[in-house]
Amino acid sequence: MNSILRVVAYFIVIYFVITGCALSMPANTFRGKADVIIPNASKSEIADQITNAMLSSDFQLERRDQDDNMLLFLKYHGRKWLFRYTYNIVNHPPEGIRVIAYISRIMDPGRADQSLTDLSRGSKESESVYAFLTGLRDRFGLQNPTNHRVGIGMTLKDYTIMSVSQGGAAEKAGLQKGDIILKIDGEPTIGDELKDAMRLSGKSGKTVALLIKRNNQELLIHLVR
């Protein structure tokens, strides 16, 4: 009996060696999808936060629809790869706002024989986006749900305003593309753009004071959220 068991064990080992099967879990154990519900926030504020983070990571904003239902970002990696991140932002009452990220990598973009790889689930890219979105969820979750936090209608990169939404609070306050934010409510920016973006947004109707730099001049802007 023992000799039979040894023979069986031998052939099992040979099978795994030949087929290359692994008995251990892969290094990347994240198997989920970047699909998170964020409480106590508006769609515009979440869209602002995502846009600021993506621009800071050298992505370009390809599309942001008028109602902040969808964001599309692109990033080229040399001439060989194109990464495409799409965020769908939808109301999910009563819990909050649901954000779903779809991630793909395109090989040889622009060619007729280009190939697309879906990275939306079980990839390091989806894990990174999931961690970012859960961070937003946790931060907004600490807020009082009666505060009605809102977006202010602008995007930042390295504290420089990259775009201003028409009709938004930023435009109404007189902020312009290219303005550099130096202080928020009298406090210097801290170097963490995501945290400072959270300081910019807040309760609807409240005012935030921004010290900005424009054309080598410092200006104090009062923005009503």
pTM flag (> 0.75)? no
Q: Has residue 33 got a pLDDT over 70?
A: yes
> Which of the four pLDDT bands, split at 50, 70 and 90, describes residue 206?
confident
Question: What is the rounded end-to-end Cα distance, in angstroms, of the chain?
Answer: 79
Could you confirm whether domain 35-147 is CATH 3.30.310? Answer: yes
Whole-angstrom distance, CA of residue 180 vs CA of residue 193 = 12
Two tokens at 68? 């902040």
The per-residue pLDDT for range 129-186, each reduced to its tens digit, is 988 888 888 777 755 444 444 467 777 778 888 888 778 888 899 999 999 999 989 9
Name the amino acid, one letter, at 15: Y
Q: Identify the pLDDT of residue 127.
A: 86
Q: How far is CA 169 from CA 46, 158, 194, in A?
A: 15, 20, 19
- Do residues 137 and 37 make contact, with C-beta atoms less than 8 angstroms apart? yes
Token pair 């239902």 is found at: 69
Domain spanning 150-224, CATH class: mainly beta
The per-residue pLDDT for range 40-76, each reduced to its tens digit, is 888 888 999 899 889 888 899 999 998 899 999 999 8
DSSP string, 5-59: HHHHHHHHHHHHHHHT--SS--S-----B-EEEE-S--HHHHHHHHHHHHHHTT-
Q: Identify the pLDDT of residue 154.
A: 79
> Which of the four pLDDT bands, split at 50, 70 and 90, describes residue 111?
confident
| Domain limits, the chain | 35-147, 150-224
Q: Identify the pLDDT of residue 78.
A: 77
Q: Identify the pLDDT of residue 122.
A: 81
